[in-house]
Structure 1
Amino acid sequence: MRRLFCLLLLLAALGPARAQTAPAAGRLVVTHLDSKLLRGNPGGENPRRRVSVYLPAGYDASPGKRYPVVYFLHGFTWNDSLIFNQDGMKALLDQAIAAGQIRPFIMVVPDEQTRFGGSWYVNSATNGPWGDFTARELVAFIDKNFRTLAKPGSRGLAGHSMGGGGTVRLALAYPGTWAAAYALSPALLGPHPSYTPGPGLGAALRARSMADVLGNHAVLSVISGARAFTPDPAAKPFGADLPGSLGADSLARRDAVLARSVPQTPLYTLPTHAAALRQLRGFAFDWGAQDEVKHIPPTCHQFSNLLTVFGLPHTAEEYQGTHGSRIMGPTGRVYQHVLPFFNKHLDFE
């Protein structure tokens, strides 16, 4: 009995200590941006865009304090809601701030999922100017509506997969907007036989409507890529020139279309945009050696080599993992590498 009484006293004493170990909770705000830039786009994309904003603990209690911002770009067929509600980003950020991985900051995730899976974060004659939307209109909207440190030195850019490729493209195309950029498993850094033109091309060419392609990831990637990189609003049925044509019993490449898309990859644009990356305080990207998206490891190696040729400081790391493994969670790349990277390179005052 005496032992039981002592145990109960011990548990009672530990109770408050346990409660204190839970990290302070930030707040997730879901808002909408009615984009003027995307309004009236020929591709029928909705100009009203959802934006999820993580506000750190203490944001509401300290109305005079301003924070740096990390813009995080989601992957193909993903969106902002899934980043927070399925991937667990909010709990991860709460834990990282409590553990000192990064000081309190704001994270912004825009929804750039489109009718065919994703914007690829580029300006398109069919889809609309998604690059301008992200780097200009979204940044202005966030600076107006939240207590940000509204200066390039306090802005970071990151993303995974399509968002990783978007991170590299936006860093090259919009110098002076970000202080640092970190791309996770960046897609479409350069041409590769696995996707130029891609395994879904035949089915995409045979399709006559959106109903024919929904649910087919390979076909959606071909069509969304074409709408982003080789758009033609007048082309039926998808507002894009596809990089192939169908014969009676064969599939042929269209070199003229590939000649339009390949030069838009970062491997080709870097030589004329190297100055943009020189303005960054930090530039990093990483990828899994066992990535199922076959073009990512070789094009990441090629891009790192090209950065070295141009004397551009960067960190490029290949780790043991697949496309989606080791990204989230306390042992993942976001917690262990991305957040400390921005803690080092952003201005927090």
Structure 2
Amino acid sequence: MRNLLLILTLLLASGKLRAQPTVPAGRVVVTYLDSKLLAHNPGGENPRRRVSVYLPPGYDAAPQRRYPVLYYLHGYAWSDSLVFNQDGLPALLDQAIAAGKIRPLIVVTPDEKTLFGGSMYTNSATNGPWADFTAQELVRFIDGQFRTLARPGSRGLAGHSMGGNGTLRLALLYPGTWAAAYALSPAFVGPSPEYMTNPSGLRTALRAPGRAALAGNFPGQMTVALARAFSPDPKTTPFGAALPGSLGPDSLTRRDAVLPRWEAATPTYLLPARAAGLRQLRALAFDWGAQDEFRHIPATCRTFSTLLTTFGIRHSAEEYQGTHGSGVMGPNGRMYQQLLPFFNQHLDFKP
């Protein structure tokens, strides 16, 4: 017993068992938005959308104070709940605020996981107007429910993967809504055969008689999700979308009438007509892992950066050592080390 007490005393003296200082904790509110825009969509998507909201430490104690808002868009097959619980975003925000990485702010993540995995944050004749929902209806809802600084200069937009695509898309399509935008590992930024004509996903989707047949098949579900977003056709069975290929007796044939619709939906092809609006942002940034498992991401991000430079749009584009998600969350990840300080610099925090 004497030896044990001695060891404990030495450990405490060295700091190894010393209690770690606690940081003030924010509060998470889970609310629901009954969307008028998404109501009655032909694709059967639920218009009642869950929204997870992080309120910073001190929000309840200072009822007169208002805060900027960061809208964070989740990735394909993910959700707001997984961002807040599995990814640990609230604890990371607590640490960042305590460390001075960013001043106190509200962070909002809407649930845009659809029947086939994701809305792609785009308006669709089948799924409904998800871009309008995110950039307009959701913003009005949050400004009405919480103590926000309800102006463009105090709004930021960010997201990962599909959410990174949504970040670039909404920044392009809704100028004057956000002060700054940051996309993490953005997917589908430009055309690529990896997702547009992926044989595995396309064959599976073409052979499936309905949604149940795609259960557990990631490539097939993603192909249908992309088609419902980028080439919707509510009257086409079984998925309400035109797929970018057809099956012959022995081969897969690409459909030239559909592929241009997918190409036209990418931020790369939206940019030339929307460059003036994008210049209204105070700052634009995106980054990606050099070892991303989705090989189209590094290539299309580089091309998009070149196009932005061609149009004279100031931005930051950085490739780092990491995979699709390995360098995003956690104290050493891009969210903590890069994204939050970026918004600390470019958002208005004062009334």
Q: Answer yes or no: same fold by TM over 0.5.
A: yes
Code of the aligned partner of 1:225: L
Instruction: Provide the C-alpha distance between the structure 1 equivalents of 2:107 and 2:314, rounded to a whole number of angstroms.
Output: 25
Change in Cα spacing, 1:121 to 1:255, as seen in structure 2 (3 Å) is same
The alpha carbon displacement at 1:193 in A equals 1.8
| Equivalent position of 1:222 in the other structure | 223
Write the deviation string for residues 187-244 of structure 1: whole angstroms up to 9, x where unpaired. Answer: 1110012122223001100000111001111001100000000000000000000000
Change in Cα spacing, 1:161 to 1:8, as seen in structure 2 (3 Å) is closer
Instruction: Provide the C-alpha distance between the structure 1 equivalents of 2:83 and 2:328, rounded to a whole number of angstroms.
Output: 11
CA contact (8 A) 2:52 2:80 kept: yes
Instruction: Provide the C-alpha distance between the structure 2 equivalents of 1:13 and 1:340, rounded to a whole number of angstroms.
Output: 35
Structure 2 gap segments, 5+ residues each: none
CA contact (8 A) 2:196 2:262 kept: no
| Equivalent position of 1:268 in the other structure | 269
> Secondary structure, in 3 states, of the residue corresponding to 1:255?
coil
> Secondary structure, in 3 states, of the residue corresponding to 1:28?
strand
Change in Cα spacing, 1:7 to 1:47, as seen in structure 2 (3 Å) is same
| Equivalent position of 1:178 in the other structure | 178
Change in Cα spacing, 1:6 to 1:219, as seen in structure 2 (3 Å) is closer
Instruction: Provide the C-alpha distance between the structure 2 equivalents of 1:31 and 1:208, rounded to a whole number of angstroms.
Output: 35
> Secondary structure, in 3 states, of the residue corresponding to 1:341?
helix
Code of the aligned partner of 1:283: L
Change in Cα spacing, 1:287 to 1:12, as seen in structure 2 (3 Å) is closer
Could you say what the CA RMSD is over the residues aligned between the two structures, in angstroms? 2.1
Write the deviation string for residues 24-77 of structure 1: whole angstroms up to 9, x where unpaired. Answer: 000000000000000000000000000000000100000000000000000000
| Equivalent position of 1:207 in the other structure | 208
> Secondary structure, in 3 states, of the residue corresponding to 1:164?
helix
Q: Which moved more, 1:95-104 or 1:261-270?
A: 261-270
Where has structure 1 moved over 4 Å in runs of 4 or more? Answer: 1-15
Instruction: Provide the C-alpha distance between the structure 2 equivalents of 1:19 and 1:108, rounded to a whole number of angstroms.
Output: 32
Instruction: Provide the C-alpha distance between the structure 2 equivalents of 1:126 and 1:172, rounded to a whole number of angstroms.
Output: 22
Instruction: Provide the C-alpha distance between the structure 1 equivalents of 2:19 and 2:58, rounded to a whole number of angstroms.
Output: 18
| Equivalent position of 2:129 in the other structure | 129
The alpha carbon displacement at 1:245 in A equals 0.5
Q: How does 1:79-158 map to 2 (within 5 A)?
A: 79-158=79-158
CA contact (8 A) 2:39 2:47 kept: yes
> Secondary structure, in 3 states, of the residue corresponding to 1:342?
helix
| Equivalent position of 1:348 in the other structure | 349
Code of the aligned partner of 1:60: D
CA contact (8 A) 2:76 2:113 kept: yes
> Secondary structure, in 3 states, of the residue corresponding to 1:58?
coil
Note if 1:321 corresponds to 2:322. Answer: yes
| Equivalent position of 1:58 in the other structure | 58
| Equivalent position of 2:283 in the other structure | 282
| Equivalent position of 1:195 in the other structure | 195
Instruction: Provide the C-alpha distance between the structure 1 equivalents of 2:43 and 2:314, rounded to a whole number of angstroms.
Output: 39
Write the deviation string for residues 245-269 of structure 1: whole angstroms up to 9, x where unpaired. Answer: 1111211000110012111211111
| Equivalent position of 1:300 in the other structure | 301
Instruction: Provide the C-alpha distance between the structure 2 equivalents of 1:189 and 1:165, rounded to a whole number of angstroms.
Output: 6
> Secondary structure, in 3 states, of the residue corresponding to 2:339?
helix
Code of the aligned partner of 2:277: A
Code of the aligned partner of 1:92: L
Question: Normalized against structure 1, the TM-score is what?
Answer: 0.95
Code of the aligned partner of 1:140: R
> Secondary structure, in 3 states, of the residue corresponding to 1:256?
coil
Instruction: Provide the C-alpha distance between the structure 2 equivalents of 1:98 and 1:86, rounded to a whole number of angstroms.
Output: 21
Instruction: Provide the C-alpha distance between the structure 1 equivalents of 2:46 and 2:162, rounded to a whole number of angstroms.
Output: 19
Instruction: Provide the C-alpha distance between the structure 1 equivalents of 2:7 and 2:193, rounded to a whole number of angstroms.
Output: 66
| Equivalent position of 1:234 in the other structure | 235
Instruction: Provide the C-alpha distance between the structure 2 equivalents of 1:211 and 1:261, rounded to a whole number of angstroms.
Output: 25
Instruction: Provide the C-alpha distance between the structure 1 equivalents of 2:196 and 2:32, rounded to a whole number of angstroms.
Output: 35
Question: Normalized against structure 2, the TM-score is what?
Answer: 0.95
Q: How does 1:61-76 map to 2 (within 5 A)?
A: 61-76=61-76
Instruction: Provide the C-alpha distance between the structure 1 equivalents of 2:2 and 2:194, rounded to a whole number of angstroms.
Output: 71
Aligned length: 348
Instruction: Provide the C-alpha distance between the structure 1 equivalents of 2:322 and 2:9, rounded to a whole number of angstroms.
Output: 46
Structure 1 gap segments, 5+ residues each: none
Q: How does 1:13-24 map to 2 (within 5 A)?
A: 21-24=21-24
